[in-house]
Structure 1
């Protein structure tokens, strides 16, 4: 900032000097026309004159000064002046100042240099560094006084905090470990899903130890020019050595640390050179004493093995999704920043948010605060947290969307089919809420809420999920006939087929196919190709897999059909409740399943029925691909391993 200010001051002084040198001097008094001047000379009224180019100034016989401009070169003027004995003086032309000469001669060159610097800075993405700083590190340094995050701000990852706790002790007192010959790990790899708090935990380590903190993303090393990334790695470690003891945090290291030689056509030269330089710096001939490298990724499977061996990233810290107690602690951390009502219970909210990461819970508290602000509340109550949870899990309500009564009725039957089958099949997650209010791309939502955090899934649970996913389509077929089934179940069919395929090809849950792996983690079936870790699969095996998947789907489809036919009265009653209230919760579903009168929702009044939905001929035609029904919270892509 100060350098820029000084530069602009210098430029302003130079410009003022140039303008002043070219600006005309102060005009003399007695300005007169040239014709009158010549006549005065011939009458003898002029005593002396000074000729400066075309400007003539002088004094009359009476002592009065004058000034005039010669419009052209007058040869007869000197004869008249000599004839009348007028003292005549000449003036030497003024030369421009030295600064003006330099500015005028060098201005084009300076302009070209400035344009060149501008384009060079644009090519390297700015960054505030010089035009020739391609090889300089883009790591951002935070001093020990700038980091305010501590372990008190990190909750829900107690095991991970214990793993990295000794790093803080080492940075504070290295001799305690060196006395016994122990060496602290030079590299820590934090592995976890997005939003679990890997970056926050790394910053908390630096905040607890009170040491400098270098932070950079893996993508900042790679540029379009080969060798730039390696140069940046060298520069980053040189800066870190000067600031040791310190922490170097590399976020998304998989952007530069992917396995070398993988894929078709070889690897990327620039990325591989950058990775090689990083390997050398982390395990070179010189020991980087006091430098701890922490990296974060959610794809440890794609990292190069040389990066993970002991001596480099020799310790992996898993930062997983928090359990119910961890979610409660995280909620309490974020609730410190907002005024909370007396009825808010963090434990209850934590039980109702299984699978939420730390970022999700932070977003939940923020959404609840926004709901309270829109409602003019002074404190955030439990009601706002429930609304925020529904918005995050099921999507934002689209009450402005126009639906006819027939469309609402079909959606109500569809969601009721999901809910009834989900309540009856064994080992299924309890139905939490059913709504026919459009949310996101879905016309209706059936939401299941697990009673506890699941770390694995049984075969019975997976088959129950398949049955409940087909409940909506079967309800439409039972009520309206097979010819009137809509496209609303396309997402249900996709998810059910995906679960069945994984049961057969990945999870070994098929008696006929046995406990063998027929597909990779991405679900690609090993058909007609040979891989390093797989065997060629015959056409007969592929056909058997398809038959087993269809058999699994058909079995659960028929089970769902039987359940709905046996409970057709509950299907009609639940449809009526959804048409009346639009959203029903677990207590109302209990009433319906017990064939009792349905109690109204706690926040429902008769005025709501006048504002709910629309009917008549004013309908909105939706794109078929956006008419899919998505049942929030009903299934995961794959069980935890």
Structure 2
């Protein structure tokens, strides 16, 4: 089949014709021949002004006579003659030839070689380089635009139409995105039963935008719509519109919608639409930029002056924030559907979908796997199941066990183990204290997630890691929880300073994350009592300028100094918190490190046993400065009526009344 397609290309036939003509011409062209003539007669036929050069070749008795212009010689057209000379000559060869001829010394019969060229052959030799360049140019354009038959059709759409023979994905294959499935099911129902909606005057959305993090299942949802729709479905990527030629993208958009309208009702799916749908006017090309021309044509086709119904556009992107506002308005994308990471129930459903057809051990509980994978996307969960199956096959087992599932989760989070990395005992001890510091601080803080695993085995780019997993999905964080997160992040650095009296480079990533979180608390979330609930700094989000180039500082130098001071205060608060915990429970830290050095990995059950005497720190005061925690025996928050009653009773008894304010801070009065 591939060989047949190769010989159907016009470029191949052009090359074959050129080779055939050259071979045929060479066949009919006689090469150099020897004529048996008198040398004196041959020399008399040549005019002296036409002789360009005469030379003796390699000190032999051979003369080469080059003519300025070709002449007829014994029926041949030639510009070069080689003749045998009767004796060796020196100096001015031609003068000696003329003298020998006049003296009668050139007599007898000598073989004279006459080299002649065919006119057609000479013409082909001159035109051959040009022909080769033309053929290469045509071949290059053919390959660049998708084949010889499409050299002149690069303005046509590259959309692929989903046929009946394509393996179908249905809504039954989609899990963890129930809201998105419901919204898309309505489109499928409208295409199959339009009368139900038209009776109420309802109109189906012209465009549906699926946006969310990578791996959440946007393209999978589009494939499910294609399998369920029962109407022509065209699929194309946003990058297929943009080419090096100006106007090609707009031409492809027009051709795509013409095809869809001719087969209406139809669905068009554009994956990664941000490739053509970015903000206009943000680049250096101005209004003549190829991407902007393509976007303008797309806007016109979706909701322009001359539009026809029956075409529904579904698009997907990871970056809805950089899309042009004209593209997102109602009338174009009437419905915008977020596709987020699944919650607990969604993860359970996704794991069951990907577990179909795979053998699992009887004690495997996929619900526990879902609880251990908060924040995982659908693609991450699919990778967990696949990695577990691969590990099972690698170890020559017949069923997937909890051990392989646990290992696959670690591989997805931090990468594969690097058992070949040799570490000295001193570095291993430093890593153990570093990870032990993280684990002990996280265990003692009230708002930290439970410690699931601590290991000093190198994995990915880290020498070890501490895994904390929340027991439930969380979508917001309080200020106290963020401060506990900062303390947990700096627990490894504090342990190194406490035990070895100097830090190492192993805490670099921890400091980077802690600094970013502390700055976000001050500048974005308004969690500074000194600077207040003000957002500092704006981001232009220019899509062509890089992530940090568009940042604009909208505050003074004095405020910048205050921001730096508040960030440093938060970091120092977290560091002091971690230091106090490690000093108080130094013996627990040493016991944990000894077990880590022996086992290399400890689990949550081991942590509960080692840290059985560790007491949780009291909760942080919600917003009463830095580093002030409520006493552990603090009364619960009271209602205003209960607080007034306690105050009145205390005043009557002449005692000091202490009770929490509605905002949680502590006040005292006589």
**SS of corresponding position for 2:150:** coil
Q: CA deviation at 1:19?
A: 13
Q: 1:189 aligns with which of 209, 217, 234?
A: 209
How far apart, in 1, do the equivalents of 2:190 and 2:540 lie? Answer: 41
1:178 shift after superposition: 2.5
Cα-to-partner distance string for 1:263-314 (whole Å, 9 max, x where unaligned): 6785661111111000001112343332111111111111111101111111
Residue 469 of structure 1 and its aligned partner are, at CA, apart by 1.0
1: CA distance between counterparts of 2:569 and 2:149? 64
Aligned to 1:441: 461
Measure, in 2, the Cα distance between the counterparts of 1:127 and 1:162.
Answer: 41
- Displacement of 1:147 in angstroms is 4.3
Rounded Cα–Cα distance in structure 2 between residues aligned with 1:541 and 1:389: 44
Counterpart contact for 1:334–1:365, Cα < 8 Å? yes
Secondary structure in 2 aligned to 1:287? Answer: coil
Partner of 2:154: 134
Distance 2:486 2:324 in 1: 38
> 1:40 maps to what in 2?
none
Aligned to 1:400: 420
1:571 corresponding residue in structure 2: 589
Question: Where in structure 2 are the equivalents of 1:24-35 lying within 5 Å?
Answer: none
**Given that residues 245 and 291 in structure 1 are in contact (C-alpha distance below 8 angstroms), is that contact kept between their aligned partners in structure 2?**
yes
Match 1:117 to one of 112, 117, 138 = 138
Q: TM-score, normalised by structure 2?
A: 0.71
| Pair 1:561-2:579 in alignment | yes
Tell me which of 205, 229, 240 is aligned to 2:260: 240
Matched, 1:290 2:310: yes
| Partner Cα distance (1:565, 1:334) in 2 | 47
Alignment of 1:355-370 (within 5 A): 355-370=375-390
Counterpart CA distance in 1 for 2:514 and 2:285 is: 37
Matched ranges for 1:192-341 at <5 A: 192-262=212-282, 266=286, 269-341=289-361
Corresponding position of 2:500: 480
Q: Distance in 2 between matches of 1:569 and 1:401?
A: 30
| 2:599 equivalent in structure 1 | 581
What is the CA–CA distance in structure 2 between the aligned matches of 1:129 and 1:174, rounded to whole Å? 40
Alpha-carbon RMSD: 3.3
Q: How does 1:536-547 map to 2 (within 5 A)?
A: 536-547=554-565
Tell me if 1:420 matches 2:471: no
Cα distance change on mapping 1:128 and 1:155 into 2, 3 Å? farther
Alpha-carbon distance change, 514 to 222 in structure 1, aligned in 2, over 3 angstroms: same
Out of 527, 536, 552, which is 1:518 matched to?
A: 536
Structure 1 residues 106 and 145, CA gap change in structure 2 (3 angstroms): farther
- CA spacing shift, 1:12–1:469, aligned 2, 3 Å: closer
Displacement, 1:583?
Answer: 0.4
Residue in 1 that maps onto 2:369 = 349
- The answer on whether the counterparts of 1:431 and 1:586 sit within 8 Å (CA) in structure 2 is yes
Q: C-alpha displacement at 1:359, in angstroms?
A: 0.6
1:506, 1:12 → 2: CA distance?
66
Q: CA deviation at 1:112?
A: 5.8
Q: Indicate conservation of the 8 Å contact 2:538/2:554, yes or no.
A: no
Match of 1:372 in 2: 392
Q: Pick from 152, 161, 168: which aligns with 2:188? A: 168
CA contact (8 A) 1:156 1:322 kept: yes
Following the alignment from structure 2 to structure 1, what is the Cα–Cα distance between the partners of residues 551 and 463? Answer: 44
SS of equivalent residue, structure 2 residue 270: strand
Cα gap change, 1:21 to 1:271, in 2 (>3 Å): closer
- Alignment of 1:594 with 2:612, yes or no, is yes
CA contact (8 A) 1:140 1:215 kept: yes
Partner of 1:507: 525
Query: In structure 1, how many angstroms separate the alpha carbons of the residues matched to 2:279 and 2:21?
Result: 62
